[in-house]
Structure 1
Amino acid sequence: MAARRQALNHGGLLLLTSIGHRTGLLNALAGQAPLTSQALAEHAGLQERYVREWLGGMVAAEVIETDSATATYWLPDEHAALLTDQGPANLAIYAQFIPLLGSVEDDVVHCFREGGGVPYARYSLSHCMTVSLAQGGEGLGTMWGRERALAYLEAAGFRDIRVHQLEHDIQNDYFVCRL
């Protein structure tokens, strides 16, 4: 029973971590002196009520520290090193995959009942390598990275190549190309 309870708690923590990454709350807390939920909300440009609820979950998960006497919160440096852009390995980026998988749950349940499959399009860009490989491609992006993709696009004759990233997902590039 304890292992199942822990799994549920960890799943919730990953969702909260994804929210903290995508809203910028984790980066906003990193390196700061203790802040109230109102001050953090203003600093991040977010609604205080939601920031306060998020802080409560992250405190319960022992990711964020709090001082109940002053109603302030802070992100310890050792946590910031793993969950923000301040460290070399921002693990919060990977937490985004939990909500992505949750977004297709209804489709998967439907497949259990009716058969069939969930189209790659429902998974956004997370399966670009597998789609490429399934269609006879070379799995660009996930497997070889930006440099190989740029070399292939240039070899294909593209000269105006622009590399873009989503603000909340810097690990994946997408390319807009013109001849």
Structure 2
Amino acid sequence: MQHAHTIDSAKLDALVARAFGDLSAGYGGVMISIGNRLGLYKAMAGAGPLSARELSARADCAERYVREWLNAQVAGGYVAYHPTSDTYELTPEQALVLADEDSPVFFPSAWAVPASMWADEEKAVEAFRTGKGIPWGDHDGRLACGVAAFYRNAYKASLVPEWLPTLDGVVDKLKSGARVADIGCGHGHSTMLMAEAFPASEFHGFDSHQESLDKARKGAAEVGVSERANFAAARADNYPGKGYDLICFFDALHDMGDPVAAAAHAAKALAPDGTVMLVEPFANDRVEDNISPVARMYYAASTTICCAHAISDGGHLVLGAQAGEARLADVFRKAGFTRFRRAFETPFNLVLEARL
């Protein structure tokens, strides 16, 4: 006999409203990506009120499409509208989020990540059914570019001025001349930021994704740090070199199939009194304490990207992007580290310090 379930109409309405808001955000993300690619936001930044025709001329786009795109931006709260003059304006705050590629709150490039997740949906479905992994390099190409662009500005705003100074004695070593390894460096933005800030030190970026390394080398040449920042293909458990004063894992350890082995190799590669800097997505230790838009985003990406890569990489310990400080501390304890602490935190990241 089936039991009748009473539907709480207020709860149902709230859930439907949330679901529709999420659906609307997905549509809006496509509009944001298009506006970014076409330079529409940049054309509006600092220009004051513009008509649809004026903007289409500035951006060299068709007016009818531009007007409809503008109305979508107004509806989403990303562009201001002046009914009397039928003009549209990008406020200074909106420009920081949508037009300034160097802003720490620039978001359009981040939409490449969910676009890649949709493109890889069939791979994810197959992985769920079989339990097999998906290597980082097998994802849609927008993934690597979107992740690199999204993290680049956050690192630029925080790594040198905020995060490094919280580590015991590290900045002084970097100023006088230290040896640094950046593990899972990707496009090398973190490596290059440190190399620019500390010209007396040498930096070695390691990653297993060759296309990312190619972009890292190109980037280092463009900013003039190639002589002290080099990039090579290597795994986290076998990169070359000893005597590193600082070994960094920037949003990478949780992607690895054997994080304990990676931490153990770091222990062997460290100089006496060396430091491991571990930057991970912010997470509390319990699921019930990770209920937020940030946690939801990280869990979703972790499902199809982070856990999938770790499984493809052996899957000895699949941490996921919401591992939390306690599980991360346990990884380093098993690898032989005796000191582990939270040095800094933001709504998006945990900055952790490990020492032998």
SS at 1:26 equivalent: helix
Identify which of structures 1 and 2 has the higher relative contact order when contacts are C-alpha pairs closer than 8 Å and 6+ apart.
1
Native 8 Å contact 2:44 2:89 kept in 1: yes
The CA distance in 2 between the partners of 1:8 and 1:17, in whole Å, is 14
1:146 aligns with 2:192: yes
Task: Tell which deviates more after alignment, 77-86 or 108-117.
Answer: 108-117
Query: Does the C-alpha gap of structure 1 residues 25 and 162 become closer, same or farther in structure 2, counting only changes over 3 Å?
Result: same
Q: Structure 1's 87 and 146: CA in aligned 2 closer, same or farther, altered over 3 A?
A: closer
- Alpha-carbon distance in 2 for matches of 1:67, 1:125: 36
| Corresponding position of 1:97 | 113
Task: Name the residue aligned to 2:47.
Answer: 32
Q: Which runs of 5+ in 2 are unaligned?
A: 1-15, 148-181, 196-201, 206-216, 221-230, 232-356
Q: How does 1:15-164 map to 2 (within 5 A)?
A: 15-85=30-100, 88-89=103-104, 90-109=106-125, 120-124=137-141, 126-127=143-144, 138-141=183-186, 144-146=190-192, 151-152=203-204, 162-163=218-219
DSSP 3-state at the match of 2:88: strand
The one-letter amino acid of 1:28's match is: A
Unaligned runs of 5+ residues in structure 1 are 130-136, 154-160, 165-174
Report the RMSD for the aligned CA atoms in angstroms: 3.3
Query: Aligned equivalents of 1:122 and 1:59: distance in 2?
Result: 33
Q: Distance in 2 between matches of 1:145 and 1:95?
A: 24
Change in CA separation of 1:108 and 1:53 when aligned onto 2, cut-off 3 Å: farther
Q: Deviations over 1:122-151 (max 9, x none)?
A: 32163499xxxxxxx931236743357994
Counterparts of 1:14 and 1:27, CA distance in 2 = 17
Q: What's the TM-score once normalised by structure 1's chain length?
A: 0.66
Name the CA distance, whole Å, in 1 between partners of 2:134 and 2:84: 50
Q: 2:39 and 2:183 mapped to 1: Cα distance?
A: 34
Q: 1:93 corresponds to which letter in structure 2?
A: S
Q: Report deviation, 1:51.
A: 1.4
> Partner letter of residue 34 of structure 2?
I
Pair member with larger Rg? 2
Cα displacement (A) at 1:15: 2.1
Aligned to 2:156: none
* Contact 1:37/1:48 (<8 A) preserved: yes
TM-score norm. by structure 2 comes to 0.36
Change (3 A) 1:73 1:127: closer
For these two proteins, the number of residue pairs brought into alignment is 151
Q: What residue identity is the alignment partner of 2:90?
A: L
Q: Which runs of 4+ in 1 moved over 6 A?
A: none
SS in 2 for 1:152: strand
Q: State how far apart, in whole Å, the 1-side matches of 2:61 and 2:122 are.
A: 30
- 2:218 alignment partner AA: R
